Amino acid sequence: MLCDICNKNQATVHLTEIIDDQMNELHLCEACAHKKSIQMEQKFGLSDLLAGLAEFGEPQEHTEKIAVLKCSNCGLTYKEFKRIGRLGCGQCYSSFRVSLAPLLRKIHGSSRHIGKSPYKLTASKANKKVGIVELQMKLQEAIEKEEFEEAARLRDKIRELERNS
């Protein structure tokens, strides 16, 4: 199948556009798909999406407070992050934590990255890894709540699971 735009190259990208409830399928070569993605980002960029999600459902007083947040490392403000859609450095995650956590939950369904398991990892090993990560999260919560007996119990359970892995 040839590209719907240039009619020269083999179509390798299949795109479905929905505009005003009209579905349109495009079959594009890589070069035309790249041009199309640039056009789409110019019309509706990632920063617009992030800005919209960042403001969705936030009370006005909260929005005003976070607008003045600034990264202590790179100097990026939260307002600039919303405008450009990119963080300036790794420290920005800590500086903007209060605002990024709900945003990450909206985008990814979670504010914590657990990672992926290699394909060859067996299901039981994968379940153990997930179990350890969950216990580590509970351990962190127990430490923050100063529940040190619970934290010690969780620490011991994590060590046991890691030894048996």
Give per-residue pLDDT as tens, 95-131. 888 877 777 777 666 666 666 655 555 555 656 777 8
The reply to whether the predicted model has a pTM over 0.75 is: no
Place of tokens 């048996």: 164
What is the C-alpha to C-alpha distance for residues 119 and 129, in angstroms, rounded to an integer?
Answer: 14
* Residues listed for the chain: 165
Chain segment 2-12, per-residue pLDDT in tens: 999 999 999 99
Q: Where are the domains of the chain?
A: 13-43, 46-108, 123-164
Specify which residues 14 forms β-bridges with: 27
- Phi-psi sector, 45: left (phi>0), alpha (psi -120 to 50), beta: beta
Place of tokens 């969705």: 56
